[in-house]
Amino acid sequence: MKRIIISHEARQLFRSGAFRALLLMVAGAVAFAAWSGQRSIDRQVEGANAAIAFEDGRRGKMRADTEQYQAQVAAEGGEYQFASAQHAPGAGPPQGTNAGVVGSTTAKYLRMPPTGLAPFSIGQSDIQLSYVPVSMNPTMYITKDNELENPVNLMTGSFDIAFVVIFLLPIFILAISYDLLSSEKERGTLAMILAHPISLRELMASKIIARAGVLLAGVLVLGIVALLAVGTNLDLADTWARFGLWMAATLLYALFWFAMSVLVNVYGKNSAANGIALAGTWLALVVVVPTLVSLLATTLYPAPSRMELTTAARQAQTEAESTYMARLSEYYYDHLEFVPEGDERAMDFLTVAMANRNAIEKAVRPLYDEFQSQLNLQESLVQRFQFISPAIMMQLALNEISGTSADRYEHFLNQAYDFRVEWSEFFTVKFLQRAPLRPQDYDQLPAFEYREEPFATVLMRLVPSLLGMLVLLTGAILIPFLRLRRYQVATS
Amino acid sequence: MIASIARKEFSEIVRDGRFKWTAGIMALLLLTALAAGYQKYSAYMDIQRMSQDQTNAQWLNQGDKNPHAGAHYGNYAFKPAGPLAFFDNGINNYAGTALFMEAHKQNFAIGRPATDQSSIGRFGDLSGAMILQLLMPLLIIFLGFTAFSGERESGTLRQVLSMGVSNRQLLWGKALGIGGVVLLIVGLCVLAGGLALSLTGPSTESESLGARATLMALSYVLYGGIFLFLTLAVSAWAKNARTALMVLIGFWAFAGFLAPKAAVEISKAIHPTPAFGKWMADMRSHQMRGFDGVPPFVRFEQESREIFAEYGAESIAELPVYVGALRLQKFEEYDFPVFEQHYGQLRDSYTNQRRLQDRIGIVAPTLPLRSLSMALAGTDLIRHVNFADAAEAYRRDMVLKVNNYLGEAAASLNTGYGGGNVLIADEAIFAMVPPFRFDSRGLQATLAEHAGNFIALMLWLAAALGLALWSVQRLKVEED
C-alpha cells in the first residue's frame, strides 16, 4: 500500500506542470549559481596571478640588474658594491644590491589556494583577499587592501550555490509540500484514502518520501553536475570528501524543511493558513533571525572603529618620528634621492626608517589584536546562537566545507604573519651588515607554501552545525509524529 | 460605499487575532531596527567627527619637518555616514571609512566594517529599510490575498456584488482598508522613530533632511501600493486563496531575494569589476612606464627646457624656484592621468553595474526602491564616489601647496646645495592647508541621477493598478 502511494505521489508530481516548472527553476538557479561562483573564483585566481607576477617581476628586474652589474664588475675589475638607497636612477651599483631597498619596495604575494569546492560558497572571499603582500612593512600592511568589488554588489551578496540551497531550496520544498494533508482534506479525499489499510502516519511518510526522494535525487544530480562543471582538483580525495559533506549538510537541511511542512500540516488548518505559517517560518529562520544574531554580535562585541585605529596609528608614528629622528633625518626620510651619492648617512636614513616602522608596528599591534579578538568573540557568539536558525548553521557549515570560512582565513593569515618575520629577517640582516645582494642571493629568498589545515580540524568545526541540524530535524519529525494521532480527517 | 467597504475590511483585519501577532512582531522588529540603527549611527558619527578633528590637529602638530615630508605624513578623510543612515545603512558596511591623502599616491578608502564582522553579517543588516523592503510586502500579501478569493470561497462575494456594489468600488474599498492597516502599523513605528530622533536631535547639519524624509516616505508608499494592488489583482484572478498566496509569495521571493542577486551577477558579467591584483599591477606598471610610455624621470629631463622656460630660466642655476620641489610637483602631475584612467575605469564599472541593476528593476520593484532609498539616505555609491573625489581634490591641493611653498622658500638650494641647508616647516606653514571637509553634492543631483528609479516605481504602480482593475473586471463570483 505504501509503495503504491509513493509511486502514485511521485507520478502525480511529475505530471503536475507546477512541479516540473519548479524543478526546472531549481536546475536553472543551480546552473546560474555555478556559473557565477566560477566567475568569482576565476577572478580571484586572476588577481592573485597578476599581483604575484607584478611583484616577482619587479624583483626579477632587480636581480637582472645585479647580474649585469656582476658581469660588469667581473669584466672591468673592482669590487661588487652595496648601493645607497635612491629614488632617482643614477650611476653606480644598481639598487638591487641593497637588501633594504629590495625588501621594503617590493612585496611577496602569498596566496591561499581555493579548495575544490570554493565556487559553491563564496563566503567573505569577495571582500577578503585570498592573496596578501608581505614585505618589510609592518604587519598591518598585510591586510590593508581589500578586493575591489562594487560595495553595492557586496551588500547584495553572491548568487552562489550556498544561496540556492539556503534561501531557495526551502521555498521550493515548502511549495510542493505545504498542502500535504490539507489539500486532500479540503478535497475530501483524505477520509477515502484512510478507509484503506493505511495509517495517517504511513500516508504522511509516503507523501514526504515521494517528494523528498524526487527533489533530493534532483539535487544530487545537480550537485554532481555542478561539481564536474566548476569544481577543481577533482582528482583529490579532499574535494570528494568535501562534496560528501556538502551533500550530507544539504540533505539534513532539506529534510528539516520537509519536516516543517509536516509539522504545520498536522495542526489541521487549511492550505492557505499552512502557507502563511510556513512562509512566516521561512522568513523568520532564514532572514530575520540571522540578522538579529548578527546585530547581537556586533552590539555585544563591537569591533573598535577603524577610524580610531587610524588616528592612533598616526599618533604612534608622530611619536616614533620625534624620538628617532633628527630634523635632518626627517627630511631625508621620504626622499633618499637627496642624499649625495656614497654618503654614509643614506644608510642611516633607511635604518632610521626601519627602526621607525618597528616602533609603529609595536605601538599599533595591540590595537590590531583587539580587532581580531573582538572578531573572534563575535564568531564564538554566532557559533553559540547558530542553533536557533538552521540557515545560520547551514551557512557556517557550507563556508567551512567550501574553505571560505573565517577560521580557514585566520589560519592563512597566521601563516602570513609568521612568514613576514622570516621574510623581513632575510633582508634586515643583509641590510644592516651592508652586505651587497648578489644574483644568487635572490635564489635563496624564503619560499612560502600554504599549509592546508588537517581535514580532521575542518570536520571538528563542522560537528556543531551538523549536529545542531540533526537535533532540530529530529525534533521537527518527532512532534508531528506524536501529534498525528489527534488529526481530524474530515472538516467538521 | 467605498468608505464602508474600507471600514469593514479594516475592522475585520484588526479584530483578527492573527493580526495582533503579525502587527506586534512587525512593530517590534521595526522599532528594534530603528533603535539599533540610530545607536550605531550616532556612535559612528561621534567617532567620525572626533577622528576628523584629531587628524586635522595631527597634521598641524606633526612636528617640524620638511614641507614635502609633511605631505608624506598626509591627512585622513573620514566619511560621514549620510543623513538618514540610521534608517538605511546602504553600502556603508561595505565601503571604506578612512581615506589616506598623501603625496604621490591616490588611495582607496579603507576600513570596511564588513571585514570586522562575523561572516553571518552577510545575511544583511536589520534596518528600517530592510524591514520595509522585505517584510512590509509580505505583510500586505498576508492581509490581502483572501480579499477576493476568500470571499468567493465563503460565498459572500455574490452577496456583496448583488447589493449593487461595482467591482471597482470593491477594489478601492479593499485597497483602502488594507492599506490603512499597513499604514497604521508602519506609520506609527516610523512616527515614533522620527519623534525620538527629533527629540534627541539629529546631529548632522540637516542636508535637507526634511525633503529627504518626505521623498523617502513617498517612495515606500509607492512601493507598498505596488504590492497592495498586485495582491488584490492576484486575489481576484486566482482560482482560490491558496493559489493566490503561492503566486504572491513566489513573486515576493523573486523580487526581494532572487532578482537583486541575479541582477548583481548579470551586471558583473556584462561590466566586470577588475580583480584587485590585476588592477593594482596594471596601474602601477602604467605609472612606472609613464602615461604616454615615457617614464617620469626621462620625461622630466626631456621637458626640462620648456619647464625652465616657463620661469624665464635656461638652467637650474637661473631658476627662481627650487628644482627639487618643481620636479616633485611635475612627477605628481604626470601621475594624474594614470590615476584618472585606472580609478576612472573602476568607477565606471561600478556606475555601469549600478545603472544596469536599476534597469533590471523593470522586472522587480525592490531594485529601484532599494537604490532610491540608499540615495535618499545618503548611503549610496554616488555619495561614496563623491567622497573619494573630494578627498582626491583635497590631496592634490595639499601636495601642490606644500610643493609650491618648498619651491619658493628653498630657491637658494639650487646653487648652494650642501649639508645643513635644509628647509624646515612648522605648524604655521602646515596651517596653509585647510582642514578636510566633505560637502556632499546636494539632493538635486541625487534626484537627477535617480529619476529613472522614481519612474520605474510609478510604472510598477500603474501596472499593478491596471492589473487589479483588469482582474476585478473579469472577477468570477463562483468557484468553478
> pLDDT tens digits for B199-235?
665 555 556 788 888 899 999 999 999 999 999 999 9
Angstroms from B285 CA to nearest CA on chain A: 8
Q: pTM of the predicted model, to two decimals?
A: 0.90
The answer to whether residue A231 scores a pLDDT higher than 60 is yes
| Residue of A133, A62, A84 whose CA lies nearest to A346 | A84
Angstroms from B469 CA to nearest CA on chain A: 24
Q: A151 to chain B: nearest residue by CA?
A: B94
Nearest residue, CB atoms, B65 vs list A330, A381, A391: A330
User: Which H or E element spans position B75?
Assistant: strand B75-78
- The one-letter code for the residue type at B109 is A
What average pLDDT score do residues B146-161 get? 82
The answer to whether residue A329 scores a pLDDT higher than 80 is no
The answer to whether residue B421 scores a pLDDT higher than 50 is no
The answer to whether residue A335 scores a pLDDT higher than 60 is no
Give the per-residue pLDDT at A490: 65
Mean pLDDT for chain B overall: 88
What average pLDDT score do residues B413-418 get? 61
Instruction: Give the three-state DSSP class for A303.
Output: coil
Nearest residue, CB atoms, B262 vs list A32, A311, A328: A32
CB B456 within 8 A of CB B361: yes
Mean pLDDT for chain A overall: 85
In angstroms, the CA B168 to CA B466 distance is: 11
Q: For residue A64, give the C-alpha cell.
A: 637582472
For residue B58, which residues of chain A lie inside 8 Å, CB to CB?
A: 311, 314-315, 318
For residue B116, which residues of chain A lie inside 8 Å, CB to CB?
A: 303, 306, 371, 374-375
* pLDDT tens digits for range B363-401: 999 999 999 999 999 999 999 999 999 999 999 999 999
Give the per-residue pLDDT at B463: 97
| Residue of B204, B208, B111, B73 whose CA lies nearest to A305 | B111
Which position has the higher pLDDT, A100 or B283?
B283
| Listed range (A316-330, A388-402, B416-430, B464-478) with the worst mean pLDDT | A316-330
With CB atoms and an 8 Å threshold, state whether B98 touches A163: no
In angstroms, the CA B147 to CA B167 distance is: 12
CA angle, residues B193, B230, B215, in degrees to nearest 5: 35
With CB atoms and an 8 Å threshold, state whether A51 touches B280: yes
- Name which of A160, A305, A364 to mutate to probe chain B: the one with the most chain B Cβ atoms within 10 A of its Cβ: A305
Q: For residue A116, give the C-alpha cell.
A: 575544490
* pLDDT tens digits for range B285-312: 999 999 999 998 889 988 888 888 888 8
The answer to whether residue A368 scores a pLDDT higher than 60 is yes
Backbone angles phi, psi at B163, to 5 degrees: -80, 5
What are the distances in angstroms from CA B250 to CA A174, A365, B125, B243? 11, 50, 23, 10
Residue A176's Cβ-count burial label (10 Å; 0-12, 13-18, 19+) is buried
Q: A345 to chain B: nearest residue by CA?
A: B419
With CB atoms and an 8 Å threshold, state whether B268 touches A36: yes
Give the per-residue pLDDT at B371: 94
Backbone angles phi, psi at B101, to 5 degrees: -115, 110
The answer to whether residue A425 scores a pLDDT higher than 60 is yes
The answer to whether residue A347 scores a pLDDT higher than 80 is no
For residue A334, which residues of chain B lie inside 8 Å, CB to CB?
A: 68-69, 72, 103
CA angle, residues A423, A427, A433, in degrees to nearest 5: 150
What are the distances in angstroms from CA B444 to CA B252, B375, B449? 32, 11, 9
Checking ipTM against 0.90, whether it exceeds it is yes
Give the per-residue pLDDT at A91: 75
What average pLDDT score do residues A110-114 get? 95
Backbone angles phi, psi at A136, to 5 degrees: -80, 0
Give the per-residue pLDDT at A367: 79
Tell me B435's DSSP state.
P
For residue B260, which residues of chain A lie inside 8 Å, CB to CB?
A: 156
What average pLDDT score do residues B3-15 get? 84
**Residue with cell string 517584510:** B135
For residue A272, which residues of chain B lie inside 8 Å, CB to CB?
A: 145-146, 150, 241-242, 245
| Listed range (A467-476, B151-160, B329-338) with the worst mean pLDDT | B151-160
For residue B78, which residues of chain A lie inside 8 Å, CB to CB?
A: 307, 310
Give the per-residue pLDDT at B307: 86
User: Which H or E element spans position A184?
Assistant: helix A182-187
What average pLDDT score do residues B420-440 get? 81
**Residue with cell string 546585530:** A295
DSSP string, A94-161: -GGG-HHHHHHHS-EEEE-PPPTTGGG--TTTTTS-SEEEESSS-GGGGG-------HHHHHH----H
In angstroms, the CA A162 to CA A165 distance is: 5
Q: Where are the domains of chain B?
A: 2-473
Across the A:B interface, residue pairs with CB atoms under 8 Å apart total 303
Confidence band, pLDDT 50/70/90 cuts, at residue A45: very high
Q: Which residues of A90-106 are buried (b: 16+ CB within 10 A; e: fewer)?
A: eeebbbbbbbbbbbbbb
In angstroms, the CA B96 to CA B48 distance is: 13
Nearest residue, CB atoms, A327 vs list B64, B119, B126: B64
| Residue of B471, B469, B472 whose CA lies nearest to B160 | B472
In angstroms, the CA B232 to CA B464 distance is: 9
Angstroms from B344 CA to nearest CA on chain A: 13
DSSP string, B106-172: ---EE--GGGGS-GGGGG----HHHIIIIIHHHHHHHHHTTTTHHHHHHTHHHHHHHTT--HHHHHH
The answer to whether residue A282 scores a pLDDT higher than 90 is yes
The answer to whether residue B102 scores a pLDDT higher than 70 is yes
| Listed range (A183-192, A276-285, B236-245, B417-426) with the worst mean pLDDT | B417-426
Q: Which residues contact A295 (CB under 8 A, 6 or more apart)?
A: B32, B36, B125, B126
- Per DSSP (E only), the strands in B285-360 are none
DSSP string, A200-257: HHHHHHHHHHHHHHHHHHHHHHHHHHHHHHH---TTSHHHHHHHHHHHHHHHHHHHHH
Number of H helices, E strands in chain B: 19, 3
* pLDDT tens digits for range A115-174: 999 999 999 999 999 999 999 888 888 988 999 999 999 999 999 999 999 999 999 999
Backbone angles phi, psi at A469, to 5 degrees: -65, -40
The answer to whether residue A192 scores a pLDDT higher than 80 is no
With CB atoms and an 8 Å threshold, state whether A32 touches B265: yes
Give the per-residue pLDDT at A11: 85
CA angle, residues B339, B341, B344, in degrees to nearest 5: 90
What average pLDDT score do residues B104-115 get? 90
Tell me B414's DSSP state.
G
Give the per-residue pLDDT at B207: 65
| Listed range (A412-426, B121-135, B319-333, B407-421) with the worst mean pLDDT | B407-421
| Residue of B398, B78, B61 whose CA lies nearest to A319 | B61
Give the per-residue pLDDT at B416: 56
| Residue of B423, B437, B238, B234 whose CA lies nearest to B325 | B423
Which position has the higher pLDDT, A492 or A358?
A358
Angstroms from B69 CA to nearest CA on chain A: 6
With CB atoms and an 8 Å threshold, state whether A148 touches B63: no
With CB atoms and an 8 Å threshold, state whether B123 touches A32: no
For residue A131, which residues of chain B lie inside 8 Å, CB to CB?
A: 277
Residue B371's Cβ-count burial label (10 Å; 0-12, 13-18, 19+) is buried
Nearest residue, CB atoms, B242 vs list A50, A88, A272: A272
Confidence band, pLDDT 50/70/90 cuts, at residue B154: confident
Q: Which residues contact B281 (CB under 8 A, 6 or more apart)?
A: A50, A51, A53, A54
What average pLDDT score do residues A386-398 get? 93
In angstroms, the CA B296 to CA B313 distance is: 21
Longest dimension (CA), chain A: 109
Q: Which residues contact B465 (CB under 8 A, 6 or more apart)?
A: B225, B229
CB B254 within 8 A of CB A28: no
Q: Which residues contact B330 (CB under 8 A, 6 or more apart)?
A: B296, B300, B303, B307
For residue A403, which residues of chain B lie inside 8 Å, CB to CB?
A: none
Length of chain A: 492
* pLDDT tens digits for range B315-368: 888 888 888 888 899 999 999 999 999 999 999 999 999 999 999 989 999 999
The answer to whether residue B419 scores a pLDDT higher than 90 is no
CB A212 within 8 A of CB A258: yes
* pLDDT tens digits for range B127-152: 999 999 999 999 999 999 988 888 88
Angstroms from B98 CA to nearest CA on chain A: 6
Nearest residue, CB atoms, A47 vs list B63, B69, B277: B277
Which position has the higher pLDDT, A196 or A134?
A134
In angstroms, the CA B358 to CA B367 distance is: 6
Confidence band, pLDDT 50/70/90 cuts, at residue A89: low
